Amino acid sequence: MTIPNLISILRLLLVPGVVLAMLQARWDWAFAGFVVAGISDGVDGFIARQFNQRSRLGAYLDPMADKLLLVSVFVVLGLVNQLPLWLVVAVVSRDGLIICAVVLSSVMGHPVEMKPLLVSKANTAIQIILAAEVLAELTFGMHLDPLRSALIILSGLLTVASAAAYLVAWLRHMSGNGEGNTSGT
């Protein structure tokens, strides 16, 4: 058990607190928890790289903690009408499809390498910015409607583009015509 793994586990444990704070409209606590999770993600990555504490467990725990937090925040923001339902469905569906593809590939004896695509990294970055922007608006009473609208559209486009890219990569991988990495952030 490495320090980065412990930090990732703590980030996993932070998710219910952030969700509960959001459901109770305690936006200040939710925003603080989201920021702490973001900082801890950077810290565990830094420690893993700088002190050679990378591990196989960490390769799964870190993205799992990130995805669980981000998807949970998106779902709750959708439930409280702060994000459009179509975007929440797209984000959750994309992640669900990727998980299903990875499991199916493994069951079929043709496992895929866990490596995110560039479009997936851009998608995750925009989703994080959007979630942070909405939580900041709610926490500080700001109204940044043009920014939020632009981030929603960009997030939707990148979510669809990322899903399509993973589908193509997965189909190539399963047919034996390419490397096809289908899991990611």
**Residue ranges of the domains in the chain?**
1-81, 82-185
Q: What is the pTM of this model?
A: 0.90
Q: Can you tell me the mean pLDDT for 70-77?
A: 98
Share of the chain above pLDDT 70, in %: 95
Query: pLDDT per residue over 139-171, tens digit each?
Result: 999 999 999 999 999 999 999 999 999 999 999
Q: What is the pLDDT of residue 149?
A: 98
What pLDDT was estimated at residue 180? 45
Pick from 2-16, 32-46, 101-115: least confident: 101-115
CATH superfamily of 1-81: CDP-alcohol phosphotransferase transmembrane (TM) domain (1.20.120.1760)
User: Is the confidence at residue 184, as pLDDT, over 90?
Assistant: no
pLDDT number for residue 59: 86
Nearest alpha carbon to residue 155 among 133, 183, 184: 133
Q: What is the Cα–Cα distance from 124 to 127, expressed in whole angstroms? A: 5
Residue 68 corresponds to which tokens in the numbers above?
Answer: 């669980």
Bigger pLDDT: 107 or 60? 107
